[in-house]
Amino acid sequence: MKSLRAFLLIRQFEGCKLKPYKCPAGIPTIGWGSTRYPNGVRVSMKDPAITQSKADEMLLWDLHAFETDVTMLTKSVKLTQNQFDALVEFAYNCGTDIDIDTIPEGLGDSTLLKKVLANPNDPTIANEFAKWNKGGGKVLPGLIRRRKADADLYFTKYRV
């Protein structure tokens, strides 16, 4: 795992539930916010509970997949570790949106990514994180806090 700060933020904001539940956007989820199992099958509300060990394993599997996607999406720019980790955490929560359309459904087609690729140190990038504060069409206080944490991490110059 190369995104320790992303890992810590994901655990902080997701929490862990061993039985399937619906996230605020109404998507069946399990463990540390996983919507799919490592075999690609979507989580269903009818699925059995998983163990803590399985939840932790799924988080690491998901994290690696998002690290790979963010690496691919940002290969044309040099990012600090904190910038990379913030984008991985964002993608974990919002998706990577690697598809053929141009509809911003996650990081891939977002103005956030466009600004990162144009200038990773552009201070208006913080505003782009903040725009992703809705779940199920509603502004959620937890997402306001999460996007602030993403932006704060992104602009942190040094590890604490």
Would you call 14 a catalytic residue per the annotation? yes
Helices 111-118 and 81-94, packing angle to 10 deg: 160
Q: Which of 14, 67, 89, 128 is an active site residue?
A: 14
Q: How far apart are CA 29 and CA 31, in angstroms?
A: 7
Sign of the four-CA dihedral 6, 71, 97, 153: positive
**101 secondary structure, DSSP code:** S
Q: How far apart are CA 55 and CA 35, in angstroms?
A: 12
Of 160, 141, 157, 155, which is closest to residue 24 (Cα–Cα)? 141
The residues annotated as belonging to the active site are 14
